[in-house]
Amino acid sequence: MRRQEEEAMEVPKLTTPQAVADQRAKELDAMVDSDRHAALQRVKAKAAALARRPTAREQAKSPAETQHKVVKAKEAGGATGESGAKKLQAYLREEKALKEKIKRAEEAAAKRDKGEEGTEAAGRGRGGAEGTVVSTLAKTLYANKQTIAKDEKIAAMLRKQQDSLQQDMQRLKRKNDMLAQQKHSS
């Protein structure tokens, strides 16, 4: 990989627009490959970090734990009266909230698995590995557009030089023909 970058850095003497375009295409390919490789490494690192993190389901209390609390509250309610009933109601609300959280998390996971996205902006707002890849590609595209614009200017300049040289060559050829005719006439 390092050798490709060094070769791309060398500045050969280019004389034709096609040679300039070919050289620039090679440089752009090397840049894209380098960016793609770097983005892939970042994605792999992010994926490894995400794999080590607990899931939302693991972080939330499991329904079994909530059920255990409800049973404990029922037992406590019989012994303590009104405070036990309040605890039971609190645990029931907690259980309902947890079920809602789990449901929302499962729906979100299903949407991600199906590849459904609301808008492009929502996809960028997520950040993470996907955002990094999109950002890297956007930067690469922008850099490529700038480079292409620069190359087009160089190609236009080279075309002008080529046209000028062709005109000079035609003028010299006409003079040469006139001199040859004068020489034969004399």
59-92: pLDDT as tens digits: 555 555 555 555 565 555 554 455 656 666 776 7
How far, in Å, CA of 110 to CA of 116, rounded?
A: 9
| Non-local CB neighbours of 87 within 8 Å, separated by 6+ positions | 73, 76, 77
Whether the per-residue pLDDT at 171 is higher than 90: the answer is yes
Pair 95, 66: CB distance under 8 Å: yes
Which pLDDT score, from 0 to 100, does residue 62 have?
A: 52
Q: What is the pTM of this model?
A: 0.30
**pLDDT-based confidence at residue 37 (cuts at 50, 70, 90):** confident
**pLDDT-based confidence at residue 121 (cuts at 50, 70, 90):** very low
| Non-local CB neighbours of 110 within 8 Å, separated by 6+ positions | none
How far, in Å, CA of 41 to CA of 59, rounded?
A: 28
Which pLDDT score, from 0 to 100, does residue 66 have?
A: 54
Which pLDDT score, from 0 to 100, does residue 161 have?
A: 92
How far, in Å, CA of 4 to CA of 120, rounded?
A: 34
| Non-local CB neighbours of 32 within 8 Å, separated by 6+ positions | 140, 144
